[in-house]
Amino acid sequence: MIKRTTLLAGALTLACGCAQAATPEFVGTDAPFTSNAIYFVMTDRFVNGDPSNDQRNQGGAHPTFDIPVAGAPKGESANIGYLGGDFKGVLDNAGYIRGMGFGAVWITPIVDNPNEAFTGGDPVSWGSKFTDRGKTGFHGYWGVNFYKLDEHLPSKGLDFAQFTAKMRAHGLRTVLDIVANHGSPAFTMPKAQPMFGQIYDRDGKLIADEQNLPPYRLDPARNPLHRFYHAYDDLVQLSNNDDQNPAVLDYFVGAHNQWADQGADAFRIDTISHMSTAFWKQFAARIRAKHPGFFMFGEAFDYSPDNIGQYTWPSSGSISVLDFPLRGRIADVFEHRDSDYAKLLDRLYLTNGPYQNPYELVTFYDNHDMARLDASDNGFIDANNWLFTARGIPAIYYGSETGFERGKAEHQGNRNYYGQQRIDAASKSPIYRQLKRIAQLRENTPALQRGLMLPLRFAGNQAAFYRVYQKGDTHQIALVLLNKGDATAPFDVSDYLQAGRWQAALGGAAIDVPDGGHLRTSVPAHDVQVYLLDAAAKRTDLVAELTRLMQERGHPEH
Ligand SMILES: [Ca+2]
Ligand SMILES: [Ca+2]
Ligand SMILES: [Ca+2]
């Protein structure tokens, strides 16, 4: 980008005191975290970097290591036991992740989970959903002591604080997945199992215990160990933390502040919609009182923009969300060859939408709780080209860089072990190569990270839009041209097109555009081109559109 010489201009502005001399600010968001693209790993399923913490003999009669799901078709597999992945496996591959163009790694919850396989609930069968019998806490979402690391994760010299520090030395921030809604499976066990349904404090003292009772049989009035929980169920057999109880808020603020103190850079908040916005408002305020500006995004597993938008508002704690509504359309568009880019347009909500700031949403096409994207290599390439140029913070689920287990749901291979061998061979995948190219471009292009988005054309296999970031010394206009068709597509852009020399950011010749001129080019099949003009927006109709986008960017909360 071009750095303006601002000293003289600044001095003149000050000297004359005239506000109109200042260049207007055009930004989608300034939240520093939004510069990063996120790579999401289920730590246990990524890489086993240290076999000494595998706990292979854990669990006694209910062992926890390596439990294949029965009934797999030939050549397929799934597993509900621990498979050995740990902090060291992530850290060992920090260079791999960073080299792809990611600035942050989201890891599954790190807190202590039960040390046996669960014996209640419904049996896990091939492809089943909401079934937990025989399953372990390999995923981390069954917290028992939220102040304590689970024993499968750290290594000697690599506790969480050391992990985050070493990741940062590689240029990677840590997004910690946190839970406050629930603990572990808490009832339906044939015989009560240790840790299940219990919560321990930072000193290791038992403070809550469902005692294998169905929620309606809890007696919070008389039994202090029941007061942590609602006397009604929420998600499967999980304990249901009482968001009205101040002790619950204190406990989770304390625990998660501890992990932020140890270097977590952002939180992904599990099951945010299963607790009240009043809880989250207080939670966010108390985290940010200690860690100003701390970035958080929640999982409200809901495809309705109006339902999930409320979590982003200041009245709910200004917590961003995973962009499920857009995700639904992304799957529609990139899983099908004859789809229309226009389907994406009305889920962007660039003006007067339901979100406090649509540019801060975390965008994705799949994760551990749904079937992985069911697309061809070209479908993945097209999806990534979209995700890393459109508004939002892209989050890629581990393995998607090679199309790993595509189309597979949980208990069908979605969460399978990836491993060092696949990582070492990833560069053979065209998905990986094209992802790296577009992710690295986003990493070096403020307009693609945080710029306002001005759509030009979304039709059939082509999309064209501007991203504009104009603040301080950075003045950047990006023109993004996407082609998901099987043939080279011509593009002819003139709307809002500012005169100047547009650089081809992904290679190719620069294009000189005269006043009132056109930018004519072509984009190969399943490819993207980005033209960059490092200049302040001057063209009158462009400035007017950007001013409108800026003014109408947020939700008009009252
Ligand atoms: Ca291990
Ligand atoms: Ca454990
Ligand atoms: Ca709940």
pLDDT at position 272 over 90: yes
Instruction: Give me the pLDDT at residue 21, please.
Output: 53
| CA torsion angle 481 485 488 491 (round to 10) | -30
CA 278 to chain CA centroid, Å, is 23
d(CA 115, ligand 1 centre) in Å = 15
Q: 220-248 pLDDT, tens per residue?
A: 999 999 999 999 999 999 999 999 999 99
Are 100 and 172 in contact by the 8 Å Cβ rule? The answer is no
Question: Which has more pLDDT, 1 or 461?
Answer: 461
* Share above pLDDT 70 across residues of the chain, in percent, rounded to a whole number: 96
Strand blocks (E) in 43-143: 104-107, 111-112
Give percent of the chain above pLDDT 90: 95
Per-residue pLDDT of 72-120, as tens digits, reads: 999 999 999 999 999 999 999 999 999 999 999 999 999 999 999 999 9
> Residue 381 Cα, ligand 2 centroid: separation in angstroms?
38
A 10 A CB-CB count for 398 gives 27
**What residues contact 61, with CB distance under 8 A and at least 6 apart?**
116
The candidate with the shortest Cα–Cα distance to 160, out of 100, 108, 200, is 108
Q: For position 121, what pLDDT does the model report?
A: 98
Q: How far apart are CA 76 and CA 409, in angstroms?
A: 12
Give yes or no for residue 510 having a pLDDT over 70. Answer: yes
Find tokens 């289920």 and name the residue: 42
pLDDT at 16 over 80: no
Residue pLDDT, tens place only, 331-350: 999 999 999 999 999 999 99
pLDDT over threshold 60, residue 2: no
Of 28, 150, 29, the closest CA to residue 86 belongs to 150
CA 291 to chain centre: 20
**Does residue 13 register a pLDDT over 80?**
no
Ligand 1 mean position to 137 CA, how many Å?
14
Helix (H) or strand (E) holding 433: helix 430-443
Instruction: Calculate how far, in angstroms, residue 159's C-alpha sits from the geometric centre of ligand 1.
Output: 13
pLDDT surpasses 80 at 205: yes
pLDDT, position 555: 85
CA of 525 to the centre of ligand 3 (A): 47
Q: What angle do CA 278, 281, 284 make, to 5 degrees?
A: 145
CA distances from 51 to 88, 148, 316 (A): 10, 20, 43
Distance 276 CA to ligand 2 centre (A): 29
Q: What token pair was written down for 111?
A: 């807190």
Give the dihedral sign, CA 365/390/520/436: negative
Q: Please give the pLDDT value at position 11.
A: 37
Contact 305, 355 (CB under 8 A): yes
- Does pLDDT of 528 surpass 60? yes
Q: Classify residue 389 as left (phi > 0), alpha (psi -120 to 50) or beta.
A: alpha
Confidence class of residue 393 from pLDDT cuts 50, 70 and 90?
Answer: very high
| CA 103 to ligand 1 center in whole angstroms | 24
Q: What is the DSSP string of 254-290?
A: HHHHHHHHTT--EEEETTGGGS-HHHHHHHHHHHHHH
Ligand 3 centroid–CA 300 distance in Å is: 12
**Cα-to-centroid distance, 114 and ligand 2 (Å):** 5
CA of 465 to the centre of ligand 3 (A): 41
Using the mean position of ligand 1's atoms as its centre, give its distance from the Cα of residue 47 in Å.
8
CA of 138 from ligand 1 middle (Å) equals: 11
In the chain, the amino acid numbered 358 is P
The residue to which tokens 């990534």 are assigned: 384
Beta strands in 383-473 (DSSP E): 393-397, 452-459, 462-471
